[in-house]
Amino acid sequence: MIAEFRLPDLGEGLTEAEVVQWLVKPGDPVTLNQTLAEVETAKAVVELPSPYEGTVSTLHADAGDTVAVGAPLIAFNVAGAEPEAPVTAGDEKRADAEEKAQPNLVGYGAAPASGARPARRARRGVASAATEADAAVIAAAPHDALPPAVAEPVIGERPRSTPPVRAYAKRRGVDLVLVAAEVGDRVITRSDVDAYADRVGAATAEPAEHEVAGASALTVPTAPAGERAQTRIPIKGVRKATAQAMVRSAFTAPHVTCFHTVDVTATMELIDQLRADRSLSEHRIGPLVLIAKAVCLALGRNPSLNATWDEEAGEIVQNHFVDLGIAAATERGLIVPMIRDAERLSLTGMADALTQLTQTARSGKTSPAELAGGTFSITNIGVFGIDAGTPILPPGQSGILAVGAVRRQPWEYRGEIALRQMMTLSVSFDHRLVDGAEGSRFLKDVADLLEQPGRAMLF
């Protein structure tokens, strides 16, 4: 029997997703919960598990296609099923009940038809030798780079790697199955792909000058002499969602931005002391950690910057918790994952949460749930050597703080001129619910905590 799998509801009101890559092809056997494909929504890259055990019959979309939620995505030949019989009213009721019992969120899997325990998701891979390697890579490889014999295909784990590494390997024409045969059961890194590609002579890794970061699949032929070339990049995924959100925010919330230059010498000295403490060696405590903690403390005294304007209800909703968004620049574009209940975290807890958030964002594994909501955000423009900016509010938030670079410069200190470590803070806020005085008080509170970290004892 042919069973259709439609693109499920990926959560957070998302209506479509782009197929990044298929991990199966027609004719492949699949097991329950085996990863079928990676799809990219406006918020994250998500792996789709198989709700059936059987054989792939048809792929209804190609890599790069955009599929609407509820549209057919893939069809399976499901073994052991009986031919369809005429549908009765009782059958319809049972079918409705079964459909309601089926989970529709990615990651929940699906209930098997029998009571057997679901098998661990698997893919044709390698055991002790490469299997089903890309023909082009095999042909290009020197003879001493190949295993002496190719084993029969076995069912094994999909090579362990992150989405950016898989995309990078695809650009270089490297089959990760072959790389996995060499590196073993650990996570494959970019350097592993480079090492393999250099040895077997795979394609050039870095995009050419006419390619654009984040759109390496697009190439432009060399323009004839005297003519100018252009690159056209489809507006989709994170870039499309970010553009829509920024336009909606910029033309809905009246933005005001305040600036303040802060002497953060004491904060930087405190960070050095904490880093020298061996008992804290497992925690990565940097300036952003202390700034995030200072923001949470300051929001407790200035709740209007931790509020939401509810137009439909005609209300200002003040939040008594802090879901702290941290803007992150990734290969897919700008995302703002958040730390829930950040005000409850200790300094080391904040450090661990920021480390986990950063690693997840860089690997492309940030889930839609981690990108939804947020009550206040921080954007660290200082990592690019920038001092100040006028950040745009994420939709639904009333404040965002831009953190500038730390620079040593002459400054008045205790009646004398001294070299101090200085930073500029920029806070943008929604003037509908935050007055200038409130925004200024918030910025001054954050600055005071960074100038004198001991003042945190007074909050």
According to DSSP, the β-strands at 324-326 and 376-380 are parallel
The Cβ-side half-sphere exposure at 405, using a 13 Å CA radius, reads: 8
Question: Phi/psi at 95 (nearest 5 deg)?
Answer: -65, -40
Picking from 354, 376, 346, the residue whose alpha carbon sits closest to that of residue 286 is 354
CA distance 231 to 212: 8
Query: Exposure string (b/e) for 373-387, b if CB count within 10 Å is 16 or more?
Result: bbbbbbbbbbeeeeb
Radius of gyration of the chain from Cα atoms? 27
- For residue 150, the tally of other CB atoms under 10 A from its CB is 13
The Cβ-side half-sphere exposure at 224, using a 13 Å CA radius, reads: 0
CA distance 391 to 426: 8
Catalytic residue among 210, 255, 260, 431: 431
The Cβ-side half-sphere exposure at 214, using a 13 Å CA radius, reads: 16
Picking from 124, 14, 120, 31, the residue whose alpha carbon sits closest to that of residue 69 is 14
**Residue 336 and residue 361 in contact, taking contact as beta carbons nearer than 8 Å:** no
210 classed as catalytic: no
CA distance 55 to 48: 16
* Residue length of the chain: 459
Largest CA distance in the chain: 93
**Residue 427 and residue 399 in contact, taking contact as beta carbons nearer than 8 Å:** yes
Q: 69-73 long-range contacts, Cβ below 8 Å, gap at least 24?
A: 69/7, 69/8, 69/9, 69/10, 69/14, 69/15, 69/16, 69/17, 70/6, 70/7, 71/6, 71/7, 72/4, 72/5, 72/6, 73/5, 73/6, 73/7, 73/19, 73/37, 73/48
Structure-derived torsion over alpha carbons of residues 160, 162, 165, 170, reported in degrees to the nearest 10: 70
**Residue 244 and residue 392 in contact, taking contact as beta carbons nearer than 8 Å:** no
SS3 345: coil
The Cβ-side half-sphere exposure at 181, using a 13 Å CA radius, reads: 22
Known catalytic residues are: 431
